[in-house]
Structure 1
Amino acid sequence: MTHDPHPPRTPDGHHVIIGGRRWRATDPSIPQDAGARLRAHLMTARRAVGAALRAGDGQAEAAARARVQLAKVALGERGTPWWEQSETERRARWQEGLDALDEE
């Protein structure tokens, strides 16, 4: 399976279509460098979930899943829809998520 870096979007731009399913799109107002850092944190956390599952470590799995959630919220893919937030709220969301993930 190949990864499409630019999957089709719904007409309003709020969702992407992947494998016939609709998923919330990343907030387009996130600066490119911050978005790249958030995606790197997300991928690291997803790998940690897999490692924890393979090891049968429930505590590590829960911690890794919490990091996935934090990254997804910061990216605008979960939580309050980014299109319902002001620019200030959107910036605070991704900056706070990035600050928290950078500390770990």
Structure 2
Amino acid sequence: MIASIIQLLLSLLVIVSLWKIFEKFGEAGWASIIPIYNLYVLIRIVGWKPIKILLFLIPLYNIYLAYVLYRDLAAKYGKDSVGFVLGILFLPFIFLPILAFESEPVA
């Protein structure tokens, strides 16, 4: 029961963080709660062609693409170190709020 509540709170923190990141780039914040559309918006934010969303359907390659996507997103904030990007991948409830609430985009 307690683990479920903690998981819900961490998920809400990630959603709120993505909401704030989307708004910083002039996108609709509500897009962070729509599963595939939020990926599309992230792809637009980092400047990729929208067709790349189909590449996320390829198993294992999608893990690499997620790394590159988050690297490009972090680069918009000037935080594109390998450690920070891996932090976004494995601990998004810690690293996405850093982007959302402590940083401003530099690019």
| TM-score, with length taken from structure 2 | 0.32
Which protein has the larger Cα radius of gyration, Structure 1 or Structure 2?
A: 1
**Structure that is richer in strand per residue:** 1
| TM-score, with length taken from structure 1 | 0.33
**Structure number with higher relative contact order (C-alpha < 8 Å, ≥ 6 residues apart):** 2
**Structure that is richer in helix per residue:** 2
